[in-house]
Amino acid sequence: METIEITVLEDIELDNPIFIEALPGLGHVGKLAADHMIDELGATKFAEIYSPTFPPQVLVKDEGIIENMYNELYYLKDVGEDNLDLILLVGNTQALSPEGQYLACKEILEFVKGYGIDRIYTLGGMVTGPTVENPKVFGAATDEASVELLKEAGLDIRANDGGIVGASGLFLGFATRQGIQGSCLMGETPGYFIDAEAAEAILNKLSYLLNFEINVDKLEERAEETRQMIAKAQQMEQDLINKANAGNADDLRYIG
């Protein structure tokens, strides 16, 4: 069985695009930021990704229509003053297991490399404690030059401070091995609710790094939509865990 199945919806040509990963994670900070970029900047979906590494479930929306567990790829052309092309990876899930994470991220990166990406930004959250009024943005990168760019943008650089779990870390790890520069932007968050403030902080730093402008007025509205979606996913996941435990099956864990 294939690790991922990619359905290409539109054949596109891009000029050395920057790849931005923003799958669900702590506080759903990265996902919220990227979803807002897609809406505000008018990104176009060009591929859908399905995988047996994703949780074995579907979501049921308010009107009774199901939604698959999937990732999506969007593109933007000529963004900001530097006319950058971007590819954004978003979705409603990450892979379920550590092995699935490794395989899915590796194959997704191989796919987007075909469009000539020359830099990666991964977006996520970093749990630091209680809620703060003005969240900081922490950073880590694949090389010294990228770290210097993060410092210029006013990020707090992580040093000897644990790891970056899930897709946000793995994509950078693969980038290092393949000579692609990459950075991770992590918004300060308590991690237990959908954090629009941390998403806004990340967007402000990313827009500085990539030299574009974006209106963040609708972020809280999108945060509420994301809260509802995540609540459904978590309830279905808990139902699966309860059924597995009741049947003495292996516990199902979600890597976030």
Q: For 213-250, how does the pLDDT look when each residue is reduced to its tens digit (9 = 90+)?
A: 999 888 877 667 666 666 776 677 778 788 878 765 44
Give the per-residue pLDDT at 219: 82
Instruction: Give the residue ranges of DSSP H helices in the chain.
Output: 29-41, 98-113, 144-152, 167-177, 196-210, 219-246
Question: Span 189-200, mean pLDDT?
Answer: 86
pTM, entire model: 0.86
| Nearest Cα residue to 26 out of 110, 105, 111, 138 | 138
Report how far residue 170's alpha carbon sits from residue 64's, in angstroms, rounded to the nearest whole number. Answer: 35
Give pLDDT tens digits for 130-168: 777 789 999 999 999 999 999 999 999 998 878 999 999
Give the per-residue pLDDT at 230: 63
| Nearest Cα residue to 185 out of 194, 200, 78, 79 | 200
**Which architecture does CATH list for 5-246?**
3-Layer(aba) Sandwich (3.40)
| Nearest Cα residue to 39 out of 194, 162, 223, 170 | 223
Length of the chain: 256
What tokens were used for 160?
A: 């000897």
Q: How far is CA 72 from CA 90, 104, 150, 162, 189, in A?
A: 5, 13, 27, 29, 25
CB-based contacts of 239, cutoff 8 Å, min separation 6 = none
Mean pLDDT of the chain: 90
Q: Which residue, chain included where needed, has tokens 């994703």?
A: 54
Q: Using a pLDDT cut of 70, give the percent of the chain over it.
A: 92
Segments making up each domain of the chain, as ranges: 5-246
Query: What DSSP designation does 219 have?
Result: H
Give pLDDT tens digits for 1-35: 579 999 999 999 999 999 999 999 988 899 999 99
254, pLDDT greater than 50: no
Give the per-residue pLDDT at 249: 47
